[in-house]
Structure 1
Amino acid sequence: MSIAESFLSLHVPGRPLLMPNAWDAGSAKLLASLGFSALATTSSGYATTLGRLDGQVTRDEVIGHSAALVDAVDVPVSADLEAGFAASVADVGETFRLAAGAGLAGGSIEDYAGIEEDTVYDIDAAAERVAAAAAAAGPDFVLTARAENHIRGRDDLDDTIARLRAYQEAGADVLFAPGVIAVEDVRRLVEAVDRPVSVLVLPGGPSVPELAAAGAGRISVGGAFAFAALGAAKRAAEELLGAGTTGYSDLAAEGSEALRAALS
């Protein structure tokens, strides 16, 4: 079984793959050591390591970053490849050819045209881009197609279902609509398509067992772990600047011990 086949086999509706998002090689090694069976990159989390915001990273940087995570761990890695870092269908294909060449088990393509245009591609254009990605990446690559409308101010579940159906016909192996988290909506998505459905867990949303019961095949966290780490650093810095104490030491020791174990 190839890496991609093994990766896809982990997507079991009702017993979803928990796939956290690593933001550098160290976090990837740590997460893999804790027992996760596959990892994803995070566009927002990686951007913070470069001192930038999400959407401000180049294709070459993301491919290099993805290759570094692949080299760091022995579990499948799937990359957030945004909208393919390209306007043209041909260039989308090139992005996914490079992604497959980097050793990734899979990657995602979204239908959001980008911050400058602030629009979602129409269904036919988006499906054509999914097809180009699937053809360029080849069969040994798990392609995830993302419908972005719910996180781009277009809260329309019927449109989401129509998009995901078109994307599965275009060659997507996994379907993802970030922002769709209500149990009844997830269940409706699962019942409407013939591919595993990935769900992004969000604050205040359903728990993993609830999403599993709705039929989710994969669950990820986006940039949440990366920003949790930054939040911990911020609190430690504020404590040092304010009270001048080191109450963060226990957490730092925990992190140091965990990383040493991951690297041993």
Structure 2
Amino acid sequence: MTGGGVEAFRALHHGRAAGDPLILPGPWDVASARVFEDAGFAALATPSAGIAASLGYADGAVPPREMFAAVGRIAGGVSVPVSADVEDGYGLPARELVDRLFDAGVVGCNLEDSWGGKAERSGTLKEASAQADYLAEVRAVAGAELFINARVDTYVRGVADLEETVRRARLYVEAGADCVYVILAPADVLPALRDGIEGPLNAIAIPGGPSPKELGELGATRITFGPGLQRQAMAALKGIASDLG
């Protein structure tokens, strides 16, 4: 991994006009990553749930070794920067986590602030100051060579509290996060998040929801898709399969 790749990826998040967010498709294997690269996307962001499905695991059940191997294959299979969703860091100390990310060749990572069940509302939020301390440790180890996207899980865990969400986000930015990702925050909350949080803001695009352009107009800096693209691809494949007979 080169610093230039990280710097180029970080630069993609800044100076963007409203309505022109950075769109980061989520590849689940090398083949899908190459499709997105060939389509002209400047960078990619792997979804842990999409990779889990491609490897035959339930979301959250992929052994860390297999997850890092999968994202390493993806990063090595394309020429654009790749960021990896590594869930809550798998309980790894900051040094080991950073070393594995660097070995995989990725330029960034998502780190979420909850643990436990993957179903919506079934997990538990971590104590915000402890999560901020962990993010600060990751930043200290990685220096500027890693883009940290701090995921705030308040809404996905059923804590629809704007004040608490902004408090957590600010702690994570102060700890060194490059970007904040309030997953599943309602679209109408994005303007308040934009006003309350310094730096880039990640939003998720979901089927039937606002378009990436609309999310950008509401305040999102970058758009990711979670496992949505992999699931749409599998739905299309089911349709193809049903026509084979």
TM-score of the superposed pair, with normalisation by structure 2:
0.91
Percentage identity across paired residues of the two chains: 36
Runs of 4+ in structure 1 off by over 6 angstroms are none
What one-letter code is carried by the residue in structure 2 that aligns with 1:191? D
* Cα distance change of structure 1 residues 192 and 93 upon mapping to structure 2, 3 Å threshold: farther
Equivalent in 161, 173, 176 of residue 181 of structure 2: 176
Shift of 1:200: 0.4
What is the CA–CA distance in structure 1 between the aligned matches of 2:34 and 2:238, rounded to whole Å? Answer: 23
In the alignment, is the contact (CA less than 8 A) between 1:150 and 1:178 conserved in 2? yes
What one-letter code is carried by the residue in structure 2 that aligns with 1:36? F
Give the secondary structure class of the aligned counterpart of 2:41. Answer: coil
Shift of 1:96: 2.4
What is the CA–CA distance in structure 2 between the aligned matches of 1:66 and 1:164, rounded to whole Å? Answer: 26
1:230 corresponds to 2:234: yes
Aligned twin of 1:103: 105
Structure with greater Cα Rg = 1
Aligned twin of 2:224: 220
| Greater mean deviation of Cα atoms: 117-126 or 49-58 | 117-126
What one-letter code is carried by the residue in structure 2 that aligns with 1:95? L
Q: After superposition, give the CA deviation of every residue in 1:100-142 in whole Å (9 maximum; x if it has no partner).
A: 2322111110001222982110111111121122222331111
What one-letter code is carried by the residue in structure 2 that aligns with 1:235? G
Equivalent in 201, 206, 211 of residue 205 of structure 2: 201
What is the CA–CA distance in structure 1 between the aligned matches of 2:117 and 2:81, rounded to whole Å? Answer: 30
What is the CA–CA distance in structure 1 between the aligned matches of 2:45 and 2:68, rounded to whole Å? Answer: 13
What is the CA–CA distance in structure 2 between the aligned matches of 1:224 and 1:118, rounded to whole Å? Answer: 21
1:128 corresponds to 2:133: yes
Aligned twin of 1:35: 40
Shift of 1:79: 0.1
1:59 corresponds to 2:56: no
Aligned twin of 1:249: none
Q: Could you list the runs of 5+ residues in structure 1 that have no partner in the other structure?
A: 245-264
What one-letter code is carried by the residue in structure 1 that aligns with 2:10? L
In the alignment, is the contact (CA less than 8 A) between 1:99 and 1:137 conserved in 2? no
RMSD: 1.7
In the alignment, is the contact (CA less than 8 A) between 1:80 and 1:107 conserved in 2? yes
Give the secondary structure class of the aligned counterpart of 2:116. Answer: coil
